[in-house]
Amino acid sequence: MSYTPETLQLLAPDGTRVVSDATEAYLPYVDALTEQQLREFYRTMRVIRRFDIEAGNLQRQGQLALWIPSLGQEAAQVGSGFAARAHDHIFPAYREHAVGHIRGLDVVQIIKMLRGLTHGGWNPAETGNFHLYTLVIGSQSLHATGYAMGVRFDGLVGTGDPEKDTAVLVYFGDGATSQGDVNEAFVFAQSYQTPQVFFLQNNHWAISVPVRVQSRTPLFHRPRGFGIPSQQIDGNDVLMSYAATAASLDAARAGEGPQFIEALTYRMGAHTTSDDPTKYRDDDELHYWQERDPIARFEAYLRGLGESEAFFTEVAEEAEQFAAEARARTLALEPPSAESMFAHVYSEPHPVMDAQRQALADFEASFEGGA
Ligand SMILES: Cc1ncc(C[n+]2csc(CCOP(=O)(O)OP(=O)(O)O)c2C)c(N)n1
Ligand SMILES: [Mg+2]
């Protein structure tokens, strides 16, 4: 489909390692991974896929207003998510459930937003610098670039001290590349040589618009016109996603300026639960990508390395438990109090808010049996 001769890959769809001159520079990153880390990659992909399916079921059962599936994009997200260091900052779009999970975001926070209980406000200082989901397509690319400019102004780039040097990782989709915001972010990122990695998940669709309509050239060619080095990777290959992101983040932290990765992947599910992809895409395309499933590929790789059956059974059970717990906690969620709508309008106490809060309390107390 959209693979090119330049697409970098370390794992073939059958789970065997691909040897190529083009990926030689990435081998140290992969060779340094411990067995434990490889297991963690697999565990996270399985757990998040199972959770994602459960959240979709909850929406179908009337428990959520909407769900945004990540099915099929687990390797792109898990590889890149694990490549970031603890003090790096991550700006997601709205589908990066696996990355949030890796950074310590409680996935029920995402559920709360899509159940209409919050406006999606978690505190990045408590979620491993995983910033807020952004539904306005591409706007997070500007937030990330602004943040990365600040990192540079603070002198946290190229010091050689791994505790200090910081990078910013921003996720966006193929459709977002058509937004002015993303292109403006490229301009500022290259002008200010920001310590930043643009991570494009090309899942081939922007709702019902195929990527071929968005661009006549491969998307990873675009940033080169802005002076940003770029590469295209097989985004369903978790090892490649990890190695390419780790290398790009290292370059960004070292002061080499912004980097760009196009991860070729596929949105196997619907855009959201409000969408019906059977209306606009054919089964052949889905089958093509099912044969390149990121989890099946990595499982085959681990089995080739001699991983035990007990491990896969344990992970399957853990995924079931994780999903069951997310479901139970969702069903136990209480709606927020009406007064909470006044809480975050201003950071300091504000007389107008106080008056409105009081007016609401008086109104509610005016009913028979009111407080
Ligand atoms: C500025 C803006 N325009 C349009 C929309 C409606 N919209 C929501 S998702 C989407 C498609 C985005 O596609 P892509 O960037 O490829 O991300 P994906 O959903 O495939 O992960 C659009 C057009 C929006 N949310 N914001
Ligand atoms: Mg897309």
Atom of ligand 1 nearest to the CA of 206: 13
pLDDT at 344: 84
pLDDT at 72: 98
Which residue of 66, 133, 137, 209 sits with most ligand 1 atoms within 8 Å of its CB, as the best mutation to test the pocket? Answer: 137
pLDDT at 339: 87
C-beta of residue 212 within 8 angstroms of C-beta of residue 245:
no
| Pocket flag, ligand 1, residue 207 (CB < 6 Å) | yes
Ligand nearest to the CA of 176: 1
Ligand 2 mean position to 334 CA, how many Å?
Answer: 33
Ligand 2 mean position to 245 CA, how many Å?
Answer: 19
| Residues 6+ positions from 334 with CB-CB distance below 8 Å | none
Burial of 210 (0-12, 13-18, 19+ CB in 10 A): middle
Tell me the pLDDT tens digit for each residue of 22-61: 999 999 999 999 999 999 999 999 999 999 999 999 999 9
Which residue of 198, 199, 207, 280 sits with most ligand 1 atoms within 8 Å of its CB, as the best mutation to test the pocket? Answer: 207
| Pocket flag, ligand 1, residue 135 (CB < 6 Å) | yes
Ligand nearest to the CA of 181: 1
Residues of the chain with confidence (pLDDT) below 70: 1, 370-371
Give the residue among 258, 261, 222, 229 at the shortest CA–CA distance from 149.
258
Ligand 1 mean position to 347 CA, how many Å?
Answer: 31
Atom of ligand 1 nearest to the CA of 93: 21
Residue of the CA atom closest to atom 4 of ligand 1: 137
| Pocket flag, ligand 1, residue 327 (CB < 6 Å) | no
Q: Using CA atoms, how far apart are residues 74 and 80, in angstroms rounded to an integer?
A: 10
| Pocket flag, ligand 1, residue 137 (CB < 6 Å) | yes
Q: Which amino acid is at 177?
A: T
Atom of ligand 1 nearest to the CA of 181: 1
Backbone angles phi, psi at 212, to 5 degrees: -65, -20
Q: Using CA atoms, how far apart are residues 42 and 78, in angstroms rounded to an integer?
A: 9
Residue of the CA atom closest to atom 25 of ligand 1: 136
Look up the pTM and report it: 0.96
Q: What is the mean pLDDT of the chain?
A: 96
Give residue for tokens 């500022």: 188
Residue of the CA atom closest to atom 8 of ligand 1: 137
Atom of ligand 1 nearest to the CA of 137: 26
| Residues 6+ positions from 196 with CB-CB distance below 8 Å | 144, 145, 148, 167, 168, 169, 170, 189, 252, 258, 259
Atom of ligand 1 nearest to the CA of 267: 20
Which residues face 196 on adjacent strands? 168
Ligand 1 mean position to 231 CA, how many Å?
Answer: 23
Ligand nearest to the CA of 180: 1
Q: Using CA atoms, how far apart are residues 245 and 174, in angstroms rounded to an integer?
A: 18
Atom of ligand 1 nearest to the CA of 211: 16
Q: Kindly report the three-state secondary structure assignment for every residue of the chain.
A: CCCCCCCECCECCCCCECCCHHHHHHHHHHHCCCHHHHHHHHHHHHHHHHHHHHHHHHHHCCCCCCCCCCCCCHHHHHHHHHHCCCCCEEECCCCCHHHHHHHCCCHHHHHHHHCCCCCCCCCHHHCCCECCCCCCCCHHHHHHHHHHHHHHHCCCCCCCCCCCCCCEEEEEECHHHHCHHHHHHHHHHHHCCCCEEEEEEECCEECCEEHHHHCCCCHHHHHHHCCCCEEEEECCCHHHHHHHHHHHHHHHHCCCCCEEEEEECCCCCCCCCCCCHHHCCCHHHHHHHHCCCHHHHHHHHHHHCCCCHHHHHHHHHHHHHHHHHHHHHHHCCCCCCHHHHHCCCCCCCCHHHHHHHHHHHHHHHCCCCCC
Tell me the pLDDT tens digit for each residue of 204-232: 999 999 999 999 999 999 999 999 999 99
Q: Using CA atoms, how far apart are residues 261 and 231, in angstroms rounded to an integer?
A: 5
